[in-house]
Amino acid sequence: MIFVTVGVQLPFDRLVGAVDTWAGTRDRSDVVAQIGASKYVPKHIRCQATMTPTEFKRCVTEATAVVAHAGMGSIITALELGKPILIMPRRAALGEHRNDHQMSTARLMAEQNIVTVAQDEDELVDYLDRIETLGRSAGISSHAGSQLVGRISAFIAEVDRRR
């Protein structure tokens, strides 16, 4: 199953429409999506506007790959569960977000080879056609490592000492 998520804050009809059209032309019945407040009504994918955190995690767990906006919650969940993730960032110029922070997130994640990034619908379709070959995430921990915790603790202690 391919799981698609666009978050719940804003609609992302460009992503939902591209995946729905792809699923219809490729006769894919294995796409499940969380589409938020989308105005686009999918014809070929199973979808719902929102999901509980439990439903969301279950869908990511069962998915062979995740397709998402460049929202950190979606990215982190896929990485924690070791799922390949294909992201298409929202663009402010297209009215999909208030600014282009998702473009920055996508660029930084791609530079680290953590995610696969599609910049537009054509690239998204190209990657969807090869979704089974996307690199699987090595997975990340849902907890901070001891080194990070130690540095934060030392920082807090230093700030407290200076008071």
pLDDT above 60 for 141: no
How many other CB atoms are found less than 10 A from the CB of residue 161?
7
Torsion 135-138-141-147 (CA) sign: negative
- Listed residue (15, 34, 22) closest to 73, CA to CA: 34
The DSSP 8-state label assigned to residue 28 in this structure reads -
**Mean local confidence (pLDDT), 67-83:** 92
Name the phi and psi angles at 109, rounded to 5.
-65, -40
pLDDT above 70 for 1: yes
Residue 40 confidence (pLDDT): 94
Q: Where are the domains of the chain?
A: 2-162
Q: Which residues pair with 33 in a beta bridge?
A: 4, 47
Residue linked to tokens 């969380």: 34
Percentage of the residues of the chain whose pLDDT score is greater than 90: 60
**Mean local confidence (pLDDT), 40-48:** 96
How confident is residue 112, by pLDDT bands cut at 50, 70 and 90? confident
Average pLDDT, the chain: 89
- Listed residue (134, 112, 140, 17) closest to 66, CA to CA: 134
How confident is residue 152, by pLDDT bands cut at 50, 70 and 90? confident
- Token pair belonging to 32: 């499940």
Identity of the highest mean pLDDT range in 45-54, 92-101, 111-120, 147-156 = 45-54
Residue 29 confidence (pLDDT): 96
**Mean local confidence (pLDDT), 58-81:** 94
CATH number given to 2-162 = 3.40.50.2000
Q: Are 90 and 38 in contact (CB under 8 A)?
A: no
Quote the pTM value.
Answer: 0.83
